[in-house]
């Protein structure tokens, strides 16, 4: 039950951060206890496991990722993102900066826009490599539709707990409205020079969007839990997706829903020498949604904002502007030094969050390097 076929197990001697397990079917059925659990996780750590979500297509999305990354670089580059407004497609290794010193990443990604999947065979943004287009109809469409359906159930449950009208969040995340939502496949090669804290594969960050829905198989993702200094691994479990709240929901909810810091380091133990693959769906608000706390729709949110005057919950930036700005800020071609790197962040920029990162120490990682 604890193992993924063909992959070494997550080592038993590595400390992990336990996540609350939320049962999707119970939330869907309106089970109050389960909804309380979901709300507790979303306002506490901001991360939770989700079981019984039924999104079996995820396995095939891993195959799309593997087939795409196996193509010659020249072929992949035909579909490359190129910065500016062009944020979807293939992202080559080295395109992004991973820390304030300007070091670049070793990660390849394929980002397929939700808008393109839903409109297929019409194109809204761009074309994609064959492994993705061949499976648009039978894999990517149901993958996206089901994920959005599950997320809507979660958003409706969270809305009610936040004192909002039930559809206040889901109506800002409609399947057929333009947004920067997307399917993401990530390939991380084994790190040849061994693990070091200097070399987080994916730097400490909070996600820009609303809900990140990850199907992880190997360890590597770590969270910095509130009030702690030690980064801790989240252990992937078969049949359980890992979900987290992003900055957009944090802002809309006046900070009540937590968009927690996380990062990716090489997988621990025997997993270390394996390629690491992630499949995820990144749900973000519709393009024209202003990222301002919904104070007029919920007294609870209005109260939370009033109690936290140091933070700005009225960005007056739209969800699209917010995503595009943050996407571009981490591109190496836009790197202009430490201060500029910091200025482009999201909630990572809040003083308390930055202080937590600066004070943090890495997990003790027994690696086989």
Contacts to ligand AKG by CB under 6 A: 186, 202, 207, 214, 216, 221, 262, 264, 278
Distance CA 172, CA 214 (A): 21
Task: With H, G, I as helix, E, B as strand and everything else as coil, classify residue 360.
Answer: coil
Question: Which one of ligand AKG, Fe ion, none is in contact with 214 (Cβ closer than 5 to 8 A by kind)?
Answer: ligand AKG
* Closer by beta carbon to Fe ion, 223 or else 304: 223
Residue of 179, 208, 203 whose CA lies nearest to 326: 208
Decide: 67 and 131 in contact? Cβ < 8 Å: yes
Report how far residue 106's alpha carbon sits from residue 359's, in angstroms, rounded to the nearest whole number.
25
How near is the Cβ of 9 to Fe ion at its closest, in Å?
Answer: 24
CA atoms within a 13 Å half-sphere pointing along the CA-CB vector of 17: 25
Any contact of residue 348 with Fe ion (CB under 5 A)?
A: no
Exactly one of 105, 207, 286, 348 binds Fe ion (CB under 5 A); that residue is: 207
Q: Answer yes or no: are the C-beta atoms of 192 and 273 closer than 8 Å.
A: no
In whole angstroms, give the CA distance from residue 47 to residue 246: 10
In the bound state with Fe ion, the residue whose beta carbon lies nearer, of 107 and 132, is 107
Q: Which stretch binds Fe ion (CB under 5 A): 71-79, 147-155, 203-211, 276-284?
A: 203-211
Supply the minimum distance, in Å, between the C-beta of residue 278 and ligand AKG: 4
Closer to Fe ion at the Cβ: 57 or 207? Answer: 207
Instruction: Name the residue nearer to ligand AKG (CB basis): 262 or 331.
Output: 262
The binder of 186, among ligand AKG, Fe ion, none, by C-beta within 5 to 8 A per type, is ligand AKG
Spell out where 97-239 has E strands.
108-113, 182-188, 202-205, 211-216, 221-223, 232-233
CA–CA dist 163, 304 (Å, integer): 12
DSSP designation for 16 = B
- 248 contact, one of ligand AKG, Fe ion, none, CB 5-8 Å limit per kind: none
Question: Which of these segments, 47-55, 121-129, 205-213, 282-290, binds Fe ion (CB under 5 A)?
Answer: 205-213
Residue 63 CA to residue 61 CA, distance in Å, equals 5
Minimum distance, C-beta of residue 345 to ligand AKG, in the bound complex (Å): 13
Q: Which is nearer to ligand AKG, 161 or 184 (CB)?
A: 184
User: Which of 53, 161 has the CB closer to ligand AKG?
Assistant: 53
Q: Minimum Å distance from CB 305 to ligand AKG? A: 26
Shortest gap between Cβ of 337 and ligand AKG (angstroms)?
23
Closest separation in Å from C-beta 40 to ligand AKG: 22
Shortest-Cβ-distance residue relative to Fe ion: 207
221 binds, among ligand AKG, Fe ion, none (CB under 5 to 8 A by kind): ligand AKG
Omega before 357 cis (within 30°)? no
278 binds, among ligand AKG, Fe ion, none (CB under 5 to 8 A by kind): ligand AKG
* Spatial CB neighbours of 115, under 8 Å, sequence gap ≥ 6: 124, 125, 178, 179, 181
Tokens 């960050």: give the residue. Answer: 205
CB of 269 to Fe ion, least distance (A): 23
Helices 58-69, 141-161: crossing angle, 10 deg rounding: 130
C-beta of 143: minimal distance to ligand AKG in Å?
Answer: 16
């Amino acid at each position: 039950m604890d193992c993924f076929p063909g992959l070494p197990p997550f080592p038993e001697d590595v400390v992990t951060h336990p996540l609350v397990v939320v049962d999707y079917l119970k939330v869907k059925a309106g089970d109050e206890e389960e909804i309380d659990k979901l709300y507790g996780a979303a306002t506490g750590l901001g991360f939770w496991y989700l079981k019984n979500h039924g999104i079996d297509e995820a396995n095939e999305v891993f195959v799309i990722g593997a087939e795409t990354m196996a193509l010659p670089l020249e072929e992949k580059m035909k579909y490359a993102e190129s910065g500016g407004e062009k944020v979807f497609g293939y992202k080559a290794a080295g395109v992004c900066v991973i820390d304030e010193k300007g070091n670049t990443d070793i990660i390849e990604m394929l980002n397929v826009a939700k808008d393109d999947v839903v409109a297929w065979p019409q194109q809204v943004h761009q074309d994609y490599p064959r492994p993705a287009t061949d499976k648009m109809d039978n894999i990517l469409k149901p993958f996206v539709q089901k994920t959005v359906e599950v997320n809507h159930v979660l958003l409706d449950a969270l809305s009610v707990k936040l004192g909002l009208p039930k559809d206040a969040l889901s109506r800002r995340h409609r399947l057929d409205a333009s947004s920067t939502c997307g399917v993401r496949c990530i390939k991380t090669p084994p790190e040849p020079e061994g693990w070091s804290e200097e070399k987080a594969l994916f730097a400490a960050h909070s996600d820009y969007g609303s809900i990140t829905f990850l199907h992880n198989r190997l360890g590597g993702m770590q969270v910095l839990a509130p009030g702690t200094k030690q980064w801790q691994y989240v252990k992937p479990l078969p049949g359980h997706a890992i979900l987290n709240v992003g900055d957009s929901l944090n802002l809309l909810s006046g900070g009540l829903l937590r968009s927690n810091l996380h990062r990716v380091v090489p997988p621990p133990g025997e997993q270390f020498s394996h390629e690491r693959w992630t499949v995820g769906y990144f749900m973000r608000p519709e393009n024209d949604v202003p990222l301002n706390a919904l104070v007029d729709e919920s007294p609870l949110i209005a109260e939370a904002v009033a109690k936290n005057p140091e933070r700005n919950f009225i960005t007056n930036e739209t969800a699209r502007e917010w995503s595009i700005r943050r996407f571009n800020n981490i591109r190496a071609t836009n790197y202009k030094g430490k201060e500029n790197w910091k200025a482009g962040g999201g909630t990572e920029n809040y003083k308390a969050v930055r202080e937590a990162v600066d004070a943090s120490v890495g997990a003790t990682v027994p690696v086989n390097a």
